[in-house]
Structure 1
Amino acid sequence: MNMTAVIQLTISMAIFGSVGFFTINTGIPAEELVFVRCICATLFLGGLWLITKGYKTEKWSKKELLQTLICGVFLVLNWVFLFKAFYAMEISIAISIYNLAPIFVLLLGHVFLKEKVTIPGVIAISICFLGSLLIVGIEQLQSWSLVLNSGLIWALLSAICYALTMLFGRGVTQLSTYALTWIQTGLGIIILLPFIHLDVFRGLSPTNWLYILGTGLIHTGFVYYLFFNSIRLLPTLIVSALLFVDPLVAILLDVAILDFRPAALQTLGMLFIFGGIIYTIVNPPKTTNSLKEGG
């Protein structure tokens, strides 16, 4: 076991667990925040790519480049929807639903790739579905307007886009992770540019800017550097287990700093969701890779 890699991955996931807290304190909409995040990641990781001279050993292919671009679209949408969910609902609830992504990988893999859904997969999906109902509250599902206002749609869309990023990224094996992320975040800048309103950056306080730059430089640049440096040196099962540091920190911050107090059924729902995901990791389908790309 490479303990340095374990420590790096643990630190990266712990830091990323605070992204929801940073997001709601930036004072800008989700689209503009993701735009800043893409700029910071492109500059930070692109710089590392050049410094390490990794670009000299890249193996380019049209197929992988196309897959990378498709992944980039879903990655950017994933970020936008997740940040919208943070603004609409408690961080703990949003991050719990967001971590349904591995379950959506099972479902989407079955629908589009004709992958077999095993009994463990069905059990995990059922447990997580029940957990989702409990965590959001059945009363929130009684009308479409309540569903929209609850933030549930944004959280589910973020998880689905995350799952699509994982599915389309399976076949990308030759490009380095630095090249992969640099292309995706660079594409994000292009995609979001027409939708950006620069007026939202006026009148922001120094604290707002601290959180904005922290989200871009720390949660994207520095965290991705630690994440990519570590996952290559660790077994998939260890990586999958350490990824739970992210939601754990997010929930602890939500409770300790933002005074979120989950109801008994919401707590049960969270346990169901993470229990179902852990069950998926312990009993993974042979064709499903449980390793996630950084969030």
Structure 2
Amino acid sequence: MNVASVAKMSIAMAIFGSIGFFTIHTGIPAVELVFVRCIFATIFLSGMWYFTGGHKTEAWSRREVLRTCLCGIFLVLNWVFLFKAFEEMSISITISIYNLAPIFVLILGTLFLKEKMTLQGILATIVCFIGSILIVGIDSFQSVDQLLNSGFIWALLSALCYALTMITSKTIQNLSPYSMTFIQTAIGIVMLLPFCDFAVFNGLTTSNWIYIIGTGLIHTGFVYYLFFDSVRSLPTFLVSVLTFVDPVVAILLDIIILSFNPTVLQALGILLIFGGILYTIKPRKEKAQI
């Protein structure tokens, strides 16, 4: 076990767990915040890519660059939808729905990668769906307007785009993580520039700017550096488990600092979602060979 890599991954996930808290204090909408985040990520990670010498040994492939661009579109949309969900819903509810991504990976893998849906996957999907209804509130599903205004759709789209990011990234084998992220965040800058309203940056307080810079520099640049520096040294199962540090930190901050007080049904919904996901990623014992 690579203890240093475990520590780096745990720190990265713990820091990322506070992104919702930072987001709601930036004072700017989702599109502009993601635009700033892409700028910071592009500068920081391309700098790390250059100073570590990775640019000298990069194996470029036209096909993989195009796939990385597609992956970047999904990644940027994932961020925009997540931040828009934070504008409408509590951090705990948003993060719980966002972490449905592994379930979407199972479904998309069945539809597009010809992977078989196991009984384990079907049960987890049903449990997570029930959890989603409980956590958002059954009343929200009684009309389209209520559902749209709840932020549920934004959170769900964010989880779907994150799952598409993971599915697409599976097809990229040779590009380094640094070059991949450089391409993805550069795509984000180009995508969002026409939609940015730079007037939202007028009149921001010093506190707003601290949170904006923190979101860009810490939650994007530093966190992605820790993540990329550790992920390839850890087994997939351990990475999956450590990613749960993120929602745990997010929910704790929401309850302790922002005074989020879930109802009994919402608490049950959160438990069902994370229970279903844990059941999904739990390694299955191989049958003994006779």
Q: Provide TM-score, normalisation by structure 1.
A: 0.95
How far is the alpha carbon of 1:78 from its aligned partner? 0.1
Cα distance in structure 2, aligned partners of 1:101 and 1:205: 35
The aligned residue for residue 11 of structure 1 is 11
Counterpart of 2:220 in structure 1: which amino acid? T
The aligned residue for residue 170 of structure 2 is 170
Write the deviation string for residues 272-291 of structure 1: whole angstroms up to 9, x where unpaired: 0001111111147xxxxxxx
Written as runs of structure 1 = structure 2, the 5 A alignment for 1:80-119 is 80-119=80-119
How far is the alpha carbon of 1:126 from its aligned partner? 0.7
Q: Does the CA contact (< 8 Å) of 2:237 and 2:283 recur in 1?
A: no
Counterpart of 2:217 in structure 1: which amino acid? L
The aligned residue for residue 196 of structure 2 is 196
Write the deviation string for residues 141-162 of structure 1: whole angstroms up to 9, x where unpaired: 1101100110000000000000
Q: Does 1:264 align with 2:257?
A: no
Q: Does 1:276 align with 2:276?
A: yes
Write the deviation string for residues 78-103 of structure 1: whole angstroms up to 9, x where unpaired: 00000000010000000000000010
- Secondary structure at the aligned position of 1:261 is classed as coil
The aligned residue for residue 146 of structure 2 is 146
Cα distance in structure 2, aligned partners of 1:95 and 1:254: 10
The aligned residue for residue 221 of structure 1 is 221
Count of aligned positions: 285
Counterpart of 2:174 in structure 1: which amino acid? Q
**C-alpha RMSD over aligned residues:** 1.0
| Identical-pair percentage | 65
- Secondary structure at the aligned position of 1:64 is classed as helix
Q: Provide TM-score, normalisation by structure 2.
A: 0.97
Q: Does the CA contact (< 8 Å) of 1:120 and 1:283 recur in 2?
A: no
Cα distance in structure 2, aligned partners of 1:32 and 1:74: 17
Q: Does the CA contact (< 8 Å) of 1:100 and 1:273 recur in 2?
A: yes
How far is the alpha carbon of 1:51 from its aligned partner? 0.5
Counterpart of 2:211 in structure 1: which amino acid? Y
- Secondary structure at the aligned position of 1:253 is classed as helix
Q: Does the CA contact (< 8 Å) of 2:88 and 2:149 recur in 1?
A: yes
Which segments of 5 or more consecutive residues in structure 1 lack a partner in the other structure? 285-295
Counterpart of 1:63 in structure 2: which amino acid? R
How far is the alpha carbon of 1:112 from its aligned partner? 2.1
